[in-house]
Amino acid sequence: MTAHRTAGSTPGPTPVPATGVRPGVRRAAGALSGPLATGAALGAGELCAGLLRPGARPVTVVGGAVIDSTPAPVKEWAIATFGAADKVVLQLGVVVVLIGCAVGLGLLSSRRRVPAVLGAFLFGAAVAVIALSRPASTLSDTVPSLVAGVAGAGALWWLSGRLRPVGGAGSVPAPTGASPWTPVREEGAAPIGPRTGPAGAAASTGAAEFDRRGFLAAASVTAAASAGAGLLGRRLSDSGAAEAEAARDAVSLPAPDLPAGPLPAGIDPPVTGLTPFITPNRDFYRVDTALTVPRVDATTWRLRLHGLGMSREVTLDYRNLLRRELVERDITLTCVSNEVGGPYTGNARWIGVRLAELLREAGVRAPSEGGPADQLISRSVDGMTIGTPVEAVLDGREALLAVGMNGEPLPFRNGFPVRMVVPGLYGYVSACKWLEELELTTFAEVDAYWVRRQWAAEAPIKTQSRIDTPRPFARVGAGTVAVAGVAWAQTRGIERVEVRVDDGPWQEAVTADVPHTDTWRQWFVEWRAEPGSHRLEVRATDGTGDTQTPERVGISPDGASGWHSVVVTVE
Ligand SMILES: Nc1nc2c(c(=O)[nH]1)N[C@H]1C(S)=C(S)[C@@H](COP(=O)(O)O)O[C@H]1N2
Ligand SMILES: [Mo]
């Protein structure tokens, strides 16, 4: 058999039999068995990950690895193009590429079974290796991918078995130039299916038709089993999530010892379309590399604090943290990937523990006080590393280990149970979610995740202002039109906002009161709009007296700058 195959297969096109055979059907079946086997692999992987850890799902592993190795410009483009859907698009992309490879393996399996099956297994094994190389992975994270590889290989073996010519090999000598893998039939319509009996069919027709009915049955069983395993796996992951959900629901945060107090009067001026001062949790932007949101159990959560210049290592659990003095503070968070006019910024009322107090208790001194560490690395349960200047954390600003957001425990997506919030620094250098470790080190010693990807090691938030209304290309009626938005320069504060129309004179906007300098500031002007197309521009001046400059700078490596402008039509 092996000899036949070796002799019969040539690098060239498969010989086309003279009569009656439709190799196309068999090829199609072969091609189909690839995706079917992939389905089996994914179903098995899903089931296994549902039992072990949802984050170890093979597609998630590959997606995560793609995220980690994607060059920054491509990542920016993806965030800019797909916004919050970027992760869905990525996972779809992984699946599409996978199906492409699967079709290839399937086609191969109908001609060369062993290499194809081996290939399928190696695919799973490769994903297992990737799983192991992901940050914060454990050996058990390889299991779903390995199981997926075995399931995929098994399914492919089984399906390709149905593709073999019925009785072709041993019973009838294959005609010259043909192999048992390239069916040749000399007569017209032949009986199809196993009922005829493999040897009989081949003998009576002198041909090697494959077992179509058998293939169809095997394909159906594979598809059904894959779907079943997949759904069951999903169920298991969801019930795990439900448990974590329940654990979070059971958390009740103590009232803050230092409440933020009522918001100043005049916040939220009544202008339709203006961003509210406090961003509700459900509307808060989300930026992270996690394909599945980590659902950390607060009851087993620990924070480890160690490193240079600490008199002792400290470990805290959630209850220790909640027993400390809790501060409530309105702080605006901003992502470095926020383009001028972009949406990746939000303002919340955080509750947390003062990070500076915690560090000082452990003997940490700022570099300006002679401390040896200038960088604080925060590490999350999913292996993210974020580097924050120790100087910034200890300079008196309200840097928090936050546990609460707008009156409830942090939502999972925003870092439950504990995250960092440091006013005045972009999120990627300050706002580590799902925090589990703080290490004092130096910038010379450690490059954090994004710094290794060419983003700046230090990134204070740049002064920005944004027009929320009217929207770009809006059509508005002539007369008085409210132009409004927000401006931010966390820790410096916003002193003044100005608007101009069509390069005319700058007009000072009314600015709403703010509790302090760590939040954005709402502003509005009344514009006497005349018919035509107009360009509105905004610029802000921060608390140090610096006014935003017009030059547009992109988000990389340390944040965008320039004036936001909006073109509208007045009718
Ligand atoms: N563990 C972890 N923390 C993270 C990130 C991440 O990818 N992983 N992204 C950071 C970035 S870039 C930003 S802008 C903020 C966003 O916080 P949010 O999703 O709560 O708005 O989280 C930061 N913390
Ligand atoms: Mo960010």
User: Closest ligand 1 atom, CA of 414?
Assistant: 20
When pLDDT is cut at 50, 70 and 90, the band that residue 21 belongs to is very low
428 lines ligand 1 (CB under 6 A): yes
Q: Please check the confidence at residue 411 and state whether its pLDDT lies above 60.
A: yes
416 lines ligand 1 (CB under 6 A): no
532 sits in the region (left: phi over 0; alpha: psi -120 to 50; else beta) called left
Residue whose Cα lies nearest atom 19 of ligand 1: it is 286
Which ligand neighbours the alpha carbon of 337 most closely?
2
CB of 37 sitting under 6 A from ligand 1: no
Q: Sheet holding 510-511: strands in order across? A: 464-469, 479-488, 521-529, 510-511
Using CA atoms, how far apart are residues 435 and 321, in angstroms rounded to an integer?
13
Q: What was the pLDDT predicted at 306? A: 98
Q: What is the pLDDT of residue 70?
A: 81
Q: Is the pLDDT of residue 331 over 70?
A: yes
Per-residue confidence band for 172, with pLDDT thresholds at 50, 70 and 90: very low
The confidence score (pLDDT) of residue 69 equals 83
pLDDT at 180: 35
Q: Which of 418, 433, 461 to mutate to test the pocket of ligand 1 (most atoms within 8 A of CB)?
A: 433
Residue 7 CA to residue 17 CA, distance in Å, equals: 17
Q: Tell me the three state secondary structure of residue 333.
A: strand
For residue 186, how far is the Cα from the chain centroid? Answer: 56
Per-residue pLDDT averaged across 403-426, rounded? 98
pLDDT at 126 over 70: yes
What pLDDT shows up at residue 56? Answer: 87
Residue from 70, 87, 287 to probe ligand 1 pocket by mutation (most atoms less than 8 Å from CB) = 287
Looking at residue 406, what is its pLDDT? Answer: 98
Asked if residues 296 and 417 have their Cβ atoms less than 8 Å apart, the reply is yes
Q: pLDDT value at position 188?
A: 37
Alpha carbon 548 to its chain's center? 32
C-alpha to C-alpha distance for 422 and 402, rounded to whole angstroms: 10
CA of 420 to the centre of ligand 1 (A): 10
What digits encode the pLDDT tens for the residues 503-546? Answer: 999 999 999 999 999 999 999 999 999 999 999 999 999 999 99
Atom of ligand 1 minimally distant from the CA of 285:
21
State the Cα–Cα distance between residues 137 and 135, nearest whole angstrom.
6
Q: What is the value of pTM for the model shown?
A: 0.80
Nearest CA to ligand 1 atom 1: 433
**Residue 205 pLDDT > 60, yes or no?**
no
Instruction: Enumerate residues 6+ apart whose C-beta is below 8 A from 302.
Output: 315, 316, 317, 436
Residue 202 has pLDDT above 50, yes or no: no
- Cα distances (angstroms) measured from residue 435 to each of 243, 263, 288, 312, 321: 20, 29, 13, 20, 13
pLDDT at 321: 97
Number of H helices, E strands in the chain: 13, 19
Q: Using alpha carbons only, give the angle 543, 284, 327 rounded to the nearest 5 degrees.
A: 60
Distances (CA, A) of 61 to 124, 286, 293: 11, 20, 13
Q: How far is the CA of 313 from the centre of ligand 1 (A)?
A: 26
The least confident of 114-123, 181-190, 459-468 is 181-190
Tell me: pLDDT of 68 over 90. no
- How many whole angstroms from 78 Cα to the centroid of ligand 1? 16
User: Per-residue confidence at 16, pLDDT binned at 50, 70, 90?
Assistant: very low
Q: Which of 165-169, 182-186, 288-292, 538-542 has the lowest mean pLDDT?
A: 182-186
Question: What pLDDT is stored for residue 167 in this prediction?
Answer: 58
pLDDT band at 451 (very low <50, low <70, confident <90, very high): very high
Helical H segments across 261-381, by residue range: 318-323, 355-361
Nearest ligand 1 atom to the CA of 380 is 1
Mean pLDDT computed over every residue of the chain: 87
- pLDDT at residue 9 tops 70: no
Say whether 564 sits in a helix, a strand or coil: strand
Cβ–Cβ < 8 Å for 386, 399: no
Centre of ligand 1 to C-alpha 434, Å, is 9
CA of 277 to the centre of ligand 2 (A): 20
